Chain A
Amino acid sequence: MDSQKNNHILSYTTLALVLGLLLVLTGVTVGVSYIDLGFFNVPVALAIACTKVTFVLLFFMHLRYEGPIINFSFIGTISFLLIMIGFIFFDVAFR
């Protein structure tokens, strides 16, 4: 069992750094959208979005400091979502 005292306090500085990073990444993704990368447009945009989401999850949502139950179940949920999106392409992509 994970410990009851989960009182990790994030300092304002850490949070502000994360915010700064997120804003920079937003700038990057908007900037990149003006350049035509051909096939890579969507993967790049999604990769940046995933990075941003990871930071929000790890720091703003404290996922970094949670016990194994929340961490594993979160990964499970995301896998389930990816399976749904992935398996639909067995149909859509081969019709």
Chain B
Amino acid sequence: MSTGIDKTGIKIGMWLFLYSEILLFGGLFVLYAAYFYKYPEFFSEGGKELNRVIGAVNTVVLLVSSFTVAASITAVQRKAKKQAIGLLIFSIFCGVVFLVNKYFEWGAKFHHDIYPNSETLVSGEVGLNIFFGLYYVITGLHGLHVIIGMILLSISLVLVMAGKVTESKYSMLENAGLYWHLVDLIWIFVFPLFYLVL
């Protein structure tokens, strides 16, 4: 109750929020499953048009940033403030790299006239239209979550610098980290489902 801060409780609250995020994406994965069943050959054709290398690079970027966020929590717990700040800045930088990659990827697709309601997709095969429709919706929503995650990490960064996040009180950083890992989790599924379907 009023005796100190209940860190476990705060974490439970955050996890509950993460569940709702999982199911938010879950709704889209339901659509993916149903349409993949309906148009398997077009999904593999569409998958080949996506740039596997950029996808793999982005996966690595997110994995590394997940690692640095987790390490920054360890750093805070060990009272290594400078390390924590460095690790967090690096994580946010990874987020930027991810988004820049995404920007070039989307840009290339737009250049090839592949975007929602574009001439190529509307007059082409319907299966491809659905594949790229889902691609844009899911990666778009994921990109939005990357941005939110970066904002949360930046807030934590400021709080670490200001000495508000310490080894005895780091719930904010921990929750921002959990959110960032969730973004990573979703990408781990998005990557094979879109880039590697054969």
Question: A residues engaging B (CB < 8 A)?
Answer: 2, 4, 6-7, 9-12, 15-16, 18-19, 22-23, 26, 29-30, 33, 36, 41-42, 45-46, 48-49, 52-53, 56-57, 59-61, 66-67, 69-70, 73-74, 77-78, 80-81, 84-85, 88-89, 92-93
Contact residues in A for B188 (Cβ distance below 8 Å): 49, 52-53, 56
Q: Is B71 an interface residue (CB 8 A)?
A: yes
Cβ contact within 8 Å between B19 and A73: yes
Which residue from B34, B37, B192 sits with its C-beta under 8 Å from A46? B192
Binds A, one of B98-106, B138-146, B178-186: B178-186
Once the chains are docked, how many angstroms separate the CA of A70 from the CA of B30? Answer: 24
Within 8 A of A (CB), among B37-93: 37-38, 52, 56, 59-60, 63-64, 66-67, 69-71, 73-74, 77-78
Once the chains are docked, how many angstroms separate the CA of A41 from the CA of B198? Answer: 7
User: Interface on chain A toward B: helix, strand, loop, or mixed SS?
Assistant: helix
Contact residues in B for A66 (Cβ distance below 8 Å): 11
Q: How far is the CB of A92 from chain B (nearest CB, A)?
A: 5
User: Interface on chain B toward A: helix, strand, loop, or mixed SS?
Assistant: helix
Q: How far is the CB of A59 from chain B (nearest CB, A)?
A: 7
Which residue from B38, B59, B71 sits with its C-beta under 8 Å from A26? B59
B6, B22, B52, B59, most chain A CB atoms within 10 A = B59
- Name B3's closest neighbour in chain A (CB-CB): A4
Cβ contact within 8 Å between B184 and A26: no
**Do A77 and B56 contact each other (CB < 8 Å), given the known contacts A10-B70, A49-B188, A56-B185?**
no
Q: How far is the CB of B34 from chain A (nearest CB, A)?
A: 5
